[in-house]
Amino acid sequence: MAIRDLVILPDAVLRQVSAPVEAITPEIKALASDMLETMYDAPGIGLAAIQIGVPTRVVTIDLAKQDEEKTPIVFINPEITWSSEEMNVHEEGCLSIPEYYEEVERPARVKIRYLDLDGKEQEIEADGLLATCIQHEIDHLNGVLFIDHLSRLKRERVTKRFAKQARRESAA
Ligand SMILES: [Zn+2]
């Protein structure tokens, strides 16, 4: 297991569409365990493989609080099979857009089909924070960021801020 570097806005890697996992190989299991370790270290509640630079459809989520027992879920090739018409607003953040938070409106409930690490097909119905989180992470697999759900003005403002920061860091 290893903690990997996070890909940060405005890195173009974040805009890549990730490819489906063809088989649950030892490499995929190692990737999932690195993702969990990286996510816990950050700390964050969700991570998509592309956020550590791997364009593969793997997502890790753990909504347990810092002092609670860990409850990791690894989603391989997750797909939204149903979303509610009812919407919900949640404040979102992203490990690739550190220390930036905004409210995003998404379907309040979703059904997700995915493979677990044993290659078994699973389906869950999610609501609340899990619904928000899994939709945010599936967006990553399609090259979409939560700031894409904001107004153009807000999106441009935060993108500019991070671009400036990246330039400063590469000049330093
Ligand atoms: Zn994110």
**What's the pLDDT tens digit per position in 106-141?**
999 999 999 999 999 999 999 999 999 999 999 999
Q: How far apart are CA 129 and CA 133, in angstroms?
A: 6
Res 128: pLDDT: 97
Check residue 66 and give its pLDDT: 80
Calculate how far, in angstroms, residue 97's C-alpha sits from the geometric centre of ligand 1: 7
pLDDT at position 64 over 90:
yes
Tell me the pLDDT of the chain averaged across its residues.
96
Q: Ligand 1 mean position to 45 CA, how many Å?
A: 10
How much distance in Å is there from the Cα of 120 to the middle of ligand 1? 26
Q: Could you report the per-residue pLDDT of 28-43, keeping only the tens digit for each?
A: 999 999 999 999 999 9
Residue 164 lies in a domain: yes
Measured between alpha carbons, how far is 23 from 72 in angstroms, rounded to an integer?
Answer: 21
100 pLDDT tier (thresholds 50, 70, 90): very high
Q: Is residue 1 in a domain?
A: no
What is the pLDDT at residue 36? 97
CA of 71 to the centre of ligand 1 (A): 19
CA of residue 91 to ligand 1 center, whole Å: 12
Domain assignment present for 3: no
Q: Provide the annotated active-site residues.
A: 137
Amino acid at 60: T
**Helix (H) or strand (E) run with residue 88 in it:** strand 87-94
Yes or no: say if 49 and 76 are a contact pair by the CB < 8 Å rule: no
The boundaries of the domain holding residue 88 are 12-171
Question: How many domains, in total, are found in the chain?
Answer: 1
Location of structure tokens 């330093």: 172
* Percent of the chain predicted with pLDDT > 90: 95
pTM (predicted TM-score): 0.96
Given a cut of 80, is residue 20 above it in pLDDT?
Answer: yes
The reported pLDDT for the residue numbered 38 is 98
- The answer to whether residue 5 sits within a structural domain is no
Domain holding 120: CATH number? 3.90.45.10
- pLDDT band for 1, please (50, 70, 90 cuts): confident
pLDDT above 80: residue 53: yes
Show the beta-strand stretches assigned E in 11-72.
46-48, 58-61
State residue 171's pLDDT score: 84
Give percent of the chain with pLDDT exceeding 70: 100
Model confidence pLDDT, tens digit, residues 86-96: 999 999 999 99
- What are the angstrom distances between the C-alpha of 61 and each of 29, 58, 161, 163, 168? 15, 10, 28, 28, 32
Cα-to-centroid distance, 51 and ligand 1 (Å): 8
The CA 28 to ligand 1 mean position distance, Å, reads: 20
